[in-house]
């Protein structure tokens, strides 16, 4: 006994193996089972095992297109009982999808009852619905009883099931496929069967045809729900050559004029696999959030035909611009990926291009043709053997009758007398008396002649590859004539390789309302309509007062800087309106209890600010670097307790004035302060005791101004206070505010 196998007292054995090795082996077996038996379709018939078993079970139940329906529960029961030992819900779901004309480009199952709809509603229970095969499914199964494909035992060994279907219809590309396995996936969009047959014919006539030549016949996918394919020809070619890519699909729409010069947009086709009800919900949510400024309303007026009505905000809106905003923000435009990952004839996963997929299907069709021809040839040989025996009987009828009447072993006597084979003798003995008419002899000779001619034709077909491809070409022509024209075969998806550029300028259509944003000293935030004058008397809670008053519009963004050195951004439209106290700013941004708002402004691109901490350090920052859409804000000035952000000054000018709590004033060039996005900054003014009180940026030519007793004083002679950044400074001029602040 090997060392890694140990015997137990009860006779069982334990095989010892490293955990990593055991896990990897079992996971690999699971992964391969998922890839081969569940997720990836076979390149030859485009089916996964569950779909193949469904069609085979329905054929066994004789659910032909010309016949009647049977309950889906009966079909599902046969499938899970005989071929597919999985849950009935998953099998029924696969059956339903094969019957949905909005999911399958060429349905393989004809359903009777509620099989769901494009809104995403589920099908009725399988005890209520009925099904039978379609003509497309019949073409997929054509010749399966003529030894055209291999069969294998089912999971319990009691039945036989086909390994692959004969597939006279290009199902893989015509109906597409989706699947997610372990470590790989597949995504194949539906195509037009007539175009696929034309491309296959091109490949039959010219085996060296390039993908670009095939795309003259198959310009792109053809989705069952229609839509408009917006993809450059170069991208489509690259996708089909490599087997990987994607296709941008848009809803089909048109403008419908109304009275008085008004109009509305009507959407008649939506992208593939987009649920209409969910799409309308998405648009309604964006409308409520005021993220679609050009759209007034959306209505669903669909019956069995899609009709979604879009109302513009005004007649001045351009329809193309309105739809462009919807394409960018909603599922009215979607992207369908292409990943031609399939199982080849050897059941090996492989990513193929368009040409390789068509070539694999054609090779499969040739194998089917050879096997069917061989099967038919054998059947003809057996029949001709019997016919030869019958004809010998008619030439020696009296002797045959005598042998049958008088001989103890008539079979052996017939074989000995007329040199018949065992099969011929058995057939002669089984003949009915009424078959001995002269007329029957003539019928037998005609049948013999006809079968002999067919035998020669089949032999020529098997001996000549060119004859086989000619026969396959004829079959392709028949398939194209049957499924490539009429309502089922007409192309549904419109292809547009180049879309006219649409410039979306929402600024002219966005509603702007002037407001005044008010922030109190204790952190209460509110907004009032219009731009209030600075002298307006405002109401606050007892012990509170005005900290900031900002004139803004509802479309603006407000930027607040807190004592913790963080920047917070709030949309102006989100500020509570009314004449009440508003709400604490802490409910809108994550401010700790000990942190307070120090400064605020209406955000505009291109602004620059000088941030300074209580310790006298600071730097210049761009407004773009202060944006922070999260509630948690964005750390800009790095401060350590007890240091805090003291002031945010507009960096408009060329000179900086700094005044400390020690009442020392320092003036130096702004160029000495670096521009940063985040950090502690550099020293602006040095202190022995205390810290920074206020900072101001001004133009040297205009002088330094400060507020004093309701008046403004300007000092231009600043030579005595000029120095370099980091200096101590000197006492300010007479008349400088006792608060040590430039705003008084």
Q: Among 538, 537, 534, 533, which Cα is nearest to 520's?
A: 538
For the sheet with 645-650, list strands across it: 645-650, 608-613, 617-622, 682-683
**135 contact partners, CB below 8 Å, separation of at least 6:** 65, 482, 483
Active-site annotation holds for 128: yes
Q: Are 721 and 665 in contact (CB under 8 A)?
A: yes
Which residues, in sequence order, are bridge partners of residue 111? 131
What's phi and psi for 14, nearest 5 deg? -115, 125
Indicate the angle between helix axes 193-205 and 465-483, nearest 10 degrees. 160
Q: Calculate the CA dihedral of residues 52, 54, 56, 62 and round it to 10 degrees.
A: -150
DSSP 310-354: EEESSTTS-HHHHHHHHHHHSTTEEEEEEE-EEE-TTS-EEE--H
What's phi and psi for 15, nearest 5 deg? -100, 115
What counts of helices (H) and strands (E) characterise the chain?
18, 36
What's phi and psi for 680, nearest 5 deg? -85, -20
The sign of the dihedral angle between the CA atoms of 237, 240, 246, 252 is positive
Of the listed 128, 240, 394, 568, which one is catalytic? Answer: 128
Q: Specify the 3-state DSSP secondary structure of 474.
A: helix
Q: Calculate the CA dihedral of residues 37, 144, 175, 490 and round it to 10 degrees.
A: 180
DSSP 713-741: EEE---GGGB--TT---BPPPTT--TT--
Residues written for the chain: 744
Indicate the angle between helix axes 354-395 and 193-205, nearest 10 degrees. 80
Query: Is 606 exposed, middle or buried, given 0-12, 13-18 or 19+ CB atoms closer than 10 A?
Result: exposed
Alpha-carbon gap, residue 205 to 593, rounded angstroms: 80
Alpha-carbon gap, residue 2 to 63, rounded angstroms: 56
Q: Are 561 and 600 in contact (CB under 8 A)?
A: yes
Residue 434 DSSP class: G
Alpha-carbon gap, residue 15 to 37, rounded angstroms: 29
Which token pair is 127?
Answer: 């005890």
**51 contact partners, CB below 8 Å, separation of at least 6:** 94, 98, 108
Which residues, in sequence order, are bridge partners of residue 647? 612
Indicate the angle between helix axes 88-99 and 49-60, nearest 10 degrees. 80
Catalytic residues: 128
């Amino acid at each position: 006994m090997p060392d890694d196998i140990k015997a137990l007292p009860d006779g069982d054995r334990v095989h010892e193996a490293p955990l990593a090795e055991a896990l990897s082996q079992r996971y690999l077996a699971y992964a391969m089972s998922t890839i081969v038996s569940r997720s990836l379709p076979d390149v030859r018939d485009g089916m996964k095992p569950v779909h193949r078993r469904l069609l085979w079970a329905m054929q066994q139940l004789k659910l032909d297109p010309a016949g009647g329906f049977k309950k889906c529960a009966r079909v599902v029961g046969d499938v899970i009982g005989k071929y597919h030992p999985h849950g009935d819900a998953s099998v029924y779901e696969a059956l339903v999808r094969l019957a949905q004309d909005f999911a399958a480009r060429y349905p393989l199952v004809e359903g009777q009852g509620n099989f769901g709809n494009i809104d995403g509603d589920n099908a009725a229970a399988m005890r209520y619905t009925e099904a039978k095969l379609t003509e497309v499914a019949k073409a997929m199964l054509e010749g399966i009883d003529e030894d055209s494909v291999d069969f294998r035992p089912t999971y319990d060994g009691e039945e036989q099931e086909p390994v692959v279907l004969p597939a006279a219809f290009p199902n893989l590309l015509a109906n597409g496929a989706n699947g997610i396995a372990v470590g790989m996936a597949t995504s194949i969009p539906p195509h037009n069967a007539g175009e696929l047959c034309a491309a296959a014919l091109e490949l039959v006539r010219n085996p060296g045809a390039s993908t670009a030549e095939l795309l003259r016949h198959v310009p792109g996918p053809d989705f069952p729900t229609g839509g408009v394919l917006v993809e450059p020809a170069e991208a489509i070619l690259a996708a089909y050559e490599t087997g990987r890519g994607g296709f941008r699909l848009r809803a089909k729409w048109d403008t419908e004029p109304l009275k008085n010069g008004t109009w509305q947009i009507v959407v008649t086709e939506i992208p593939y696999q987009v649920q209409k009800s969910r799409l309308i919900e998405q648009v309604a949510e964006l409308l409520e959030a005021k993220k679609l400024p050009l759209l007034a309303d959306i209505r669903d007026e669909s019956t069995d035909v899609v009709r979604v009505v879009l109302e513009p905000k005004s007649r001045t809106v351009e329809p193309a611009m309105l739809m462009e905003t919807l394409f960018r923000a909603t599922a009215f435009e979607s992207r369908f990926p292409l990943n031609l990952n399939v199982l080849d004839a050897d059941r090996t996963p492989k990513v193929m291009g368009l040409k390789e997929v068509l070539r694999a299907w054609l090779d499969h069709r040739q194998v089917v043709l050879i096997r069917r021809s061989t099967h038919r040839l054998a059947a003809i040989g057996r029949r001709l053997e019997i016919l030869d025996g019958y004809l010998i009987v008619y030439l020696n009828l009296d002797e045959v009758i005598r042998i049958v009447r008088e001989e103890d072993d008539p079979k052996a006597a017939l074989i000995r007398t007329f040199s018949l084979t065992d099969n011929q003798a058995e057939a002669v003995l089984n003949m009915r008396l009424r078959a001995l008419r002269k007329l029957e002899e003539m019928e037998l000779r005609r049948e013999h002649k006809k079968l002999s001619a067919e035998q020669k034709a089949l032999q020529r077909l098997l001996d000549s590859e060119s004859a086989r491809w000619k026969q396959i070409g004829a079959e392709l022509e028949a398939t194209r004539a049957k499924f490539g024209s009429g309502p089922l075969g007409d192309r549904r998806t419109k292809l547009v390789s180049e879309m006219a550029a649409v410039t979306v300028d929402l600024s002219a259509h966005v509603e702007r309302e002037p407001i005044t944003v008010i922030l109190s000293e204790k952190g209460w935030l509110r907004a009032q309509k219009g731009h209030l004058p600075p002298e307006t008397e405002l109401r606050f809670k007892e012990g509170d007062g005005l900290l900031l008053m900002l004139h803004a519009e509802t479309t603006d963004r407000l930027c607040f800087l807190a004592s913790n050195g963080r920047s917070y951004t709030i949309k102006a439209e989100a500020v509570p309106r009314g004449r009440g106290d508003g709400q604490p700013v802490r409910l809108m941004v994550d401010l700790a209890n000990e942190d307070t708002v120090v400064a605020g402004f209406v955000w505009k691109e291109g602004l620059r600010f000088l941030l300074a901490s209580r310790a006298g350090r600071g730097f210049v920052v761009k407004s773009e670097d202060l944006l922070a859409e999260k509630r948690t804000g964005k750390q800009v000035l790095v401060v350590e307790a007890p240091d805090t952000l003291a002031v945010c000054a507009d960096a408009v000018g060329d000179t900086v004035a700094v005044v400390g709590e020690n009442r020392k004033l320092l003036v130096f060039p702004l160029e000495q302060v670096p521009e940063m996005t985040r950090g502690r900054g550099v020293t602006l003014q040095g202190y022995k005791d205390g810290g920074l009180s206020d900072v101001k940026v001004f133009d040297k030519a205009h002088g330094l101004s400060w507020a004093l007793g309701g008046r403004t004083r300007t000092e231009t002679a600043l030579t005595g206070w000029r120095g370099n950044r980091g200096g101590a400074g000197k006492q300010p001029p007479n008349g400088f505010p006792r608060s040590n602040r430039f705003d008084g």
